[in-house]
Chain A
């Protein structure tokens, strides 16, 4: 018993050292043909400072951080249970209070009021633009992917494809592509919405119907491929899509209903309000869906597909439905982005984009609408903050190192996400009770 415990300590210490060594190498200087080992020696040998407090060398800092990490990790294992029960109690008290309807509606009203006032509180043009392009649109995308990943339990790595379809459809129907607009008419952007949704949904069904018969991993690979195919099409079908230069002549949204005439121009605030309206509609729709018959079918399929089939649920039908709903949400987000920025380039529709959205969903809490909205806001605000006021040495492409590290920490301390869905919470609960072996994997020293 004692020996097992000791070896678990050694294992943790080495894991901490290894993790920090990797981080050290990742953030270190690059090597070159002339000095092939410079990346390695530089990673450990260069001078560094700890929060500007004392100067030292990188390897000392690394050793220090590894020990701190090991200490925190061990402390978490020893006191984790107390901390968890204490936080669970602290969290569940206000949670219980939020169960009543008036309180929940009251909170929704407050959140809405803050959301509506936000452009007046934050007037920095960088943040006003970010609020639309990088936060509100990403909230929409996270909501859509959550239906696929969170509700139906399907891993979609090609979500960007449907976003691209939505964006290119907007360009097409408004006459901004080399290829002629449908019937030669340059439609208003609002007409692009139903067309983009229909096309994204249609391609979701065409892709989903044959592939959703496959089990999880295959689906991930097929969707991954589909995402790449769409980007390649966009890049190479020069006569149709404008090739790698894309297009920059997409008009803004405009409204002409009787006496009302309004043009969404270059300023982000009107787009912010437009997007907020759409976000509210999508949240309301998905909440209804979650608690509908369809939502229950998704839960059943996620938990046990064979059992779901034998109570009379057609798994393929409901999976395709989830896939198509997710796809059409992404298509819709594509309309908003294309209209707001007037431009689209194939190079913005990357695998990294799909993964970014997936990170928002996992971080926020798969299957929890509140969670993914909050996750999208937190992560996107964070990455925009890093872009706006970068810490010393930060490069935009470093973002994914930080996101990756964040996810690893999340998986250890809050595996069900920021705001876990009720069901995921139970899933983890079951694992900790010993129904699964999550606990053993985490601690390595259960008897």
Chain B
């Protein structure tokens, strides 16, 4: 579904991605693991057009999208839930969801109802403004907003960041449901243990390179992953 070949991204003099290659197949949850500053967010921003790669290329569903502009990515079928959520703080919950469907033609009221079924708390808060929601609610809103664009591939950047364990469980359950309903997911997480339990495959990034990738179950038992990303609090 998605193939990245030797993609290089620079911020001025800093090279954030040194030619990374990986792929995501239809129906999978793939997770990107890595320390702070490894380049995970940069990878996702590149995959939603916010930073075009200086070299290399990106294929999505057989189409070259390397040079496609950011605002066209939702129409391609790629949705991005950015790091830090970035919901529109002064818009109401409902307006936030509606703007997620900005590029769609025709009625989206069915989808709005589905979002409210998936996230009942958002229905309660529908007339409240986004900035007044709790962190967990904002994360749900950010995911809901991306889903309103009907993506076939959803990019999630640290959806569990700063949330209480119970909310994290809910978010992870919902990510599973999103995959089951047919949307492929590329998940960036610090919470490696939980991400690997949910994912089908994973890649490990270090300093702007992908150092290795494998099935999630293999990674869970991999000595390097266990040492660096899982610490001691995981028994398998």
A residues with a Cβ closer than 8 A to B are 293, 296-297, 299-300, 303-304, 306-307, 309-315, 423, 426-427, 430, 433, 435
Q: Which of B50, B74, B87, B91 meets A306, CB within 8 Å? A: B50
Establish whether residues B102 and A306, one from each chain, have CB atoms under 8 Å apart when the complex forms.
Answer: no
Q: Which of B138-195 contact A (CB under 8 A)?
A: 145-146, 149
Instruction: Knowing A306-B86, A309-B50 are in contact, say whether A299-B91 is a contact too (CB < 8 A).
Output: yes
Establish whether residues B131 and A435, one from each chain, have CB atoms under 8 Å apart when the complex forms.
Answer: yes
Give the docked Cα–Cα distance between A315 and B69 (Å).
11
Is B90 an interface residue, CB under 8 A from the partner?
Answer: yes
* Complex contacts, A293 vs chain B, CB 8 Å: 102
Q: Closest Cβ of chain A: how far from B146's Cβ, in Å?
A: 8
Q: Which of B78-126 contact A (CB under 8 A)?
A: 80, 82, 86-91, 95, 98-100, 102-103
Establish whether residues B48 and A314, one from each chain, have CB atoms under 8 Å apart when the complex forms.
Answer: no
Q: Which of A299, A314, A423 meets B71, CB within 8 Å? A: A314
* Complex contacts, B149 vs chain A, CB 8 Å: 311-312
Q: Closest Cβ of chain B: how far from A288's Cβ, in Å?
A: 18
* Complex contacts, B145 vs chain A, CB 8 Å: 311
Establish whether residues B82 and A306, one from each chain, have CB atoms under 8 Å apart when the complex forms.
Answer: yes
Give the docked Cα–Cα distance between A56 and B95 (Å).
60
Is B211 an interface residue, CB under 8 A from the partner?
Answer: no
Q: Which of B50, B80, B88 meets A299, CB within 8 Å? A: B88
Give the docked Cα–Cα distance between A306 and B99 (Å).
14
Give the docked Cα–Cα distance between A300 and B103 (Å).
14
* Complex contacts, B49 vs chain A, CB 8 Å: 309
Establish whether residues B102 and A310, one from each chain, have CB atoms under 8 Å apart when the complex forms.
Answer: no
Give the docked Cα–Cα distance between A427 and B91 (Å).
10
Chain B contributes a number of interface residues (CB within 8 A of A) equal to: 30
Establish whether residues A303 and B71, one from each chain, have CB atoms under 8 Å apart when the complex forms.
Answer: no
Establish whether residues A307 and B88, one from each chain, have CB atoms under 8 Å apart when the complex forms.
Answer: yes
Give the docked Cα–Cα distance between A270 and B71 (Å).
48
Establish whether residues A426 and B90, one from each chain, have CB atoms under 8 Å apart when the complex forms.
Answer: yes
* Complex contacts, B132 vs chain A, CB 8 Å: 430, 433
* Complex contacts, B91 vs chain A, CB 8 Å: 299-300, 303, 423
* Complex contacts, A430 vs chain B, CB 8 Å: 89-90, 129, 131-132
Give the docked Cα–Cα distance between A139 and B179 (Å).
54
Establish whether residues A312 and B71, one from each chain, have CB atoms under 8 Å apart when the complex forms.
Answer: yes
Q: Which 9 A-B pairs have the closest CB atoms?
A: A312-B74, A312-B103, A307-B86, A314-B71, A309-B70, A303-B88, A310-B80, A426-B90, A423-B90
Q: Which of A299, A303, A312 meets B73, CB within 8 Å? A: A312
Q: Closest Cβ of chain A: how far from B70's Cβ, in Å?
A: 4
Q: Closest Cβ of chain A: how far from B9's Cβ, in Å?
A: 16
Establish whether residues B102 and A303, one from each chain, have CB atoms under 8 Å apart when the complex forms.
Answer: no
Give the docked Cα–Cα distance between A54 and B50 (Å).
67
Centre residue among A297, A306, A310, A433 by max chain B CB count within 10 A: A310
* Complex contacts, B146 vs chain A, CB 8 Å: 311
A-B residue pairs in contact (CB < 8 Å), sample of 21: A296-B99, A300-B99, A303-B88, A304-B88, A304-B89, A306-B82, A307-B86, A307-B87, A309-B49, A309-B50, A309-B70, A309-B71, A310-B70, A311-B100, A311-B102, A311-B149, A312-B71, A313-B99, A313-B102, A314-B71, A426-B129
Give the docked Cα–Cα distance between A303 and B102 (Å).
16
Centre residue among B90, B91, B103 by max chain A CB count within 10 A: B90
Give 7 new A-B contacts, CB below 8 A, not counting A306-B50, A426-B131. A293-B102, A300-B91, A303-B89, A310-B73, A310-B74, A311-B146, A435-B89
Q: Closest Cβ of chain A: how far from B82's Cβ, in Å?
A: 6
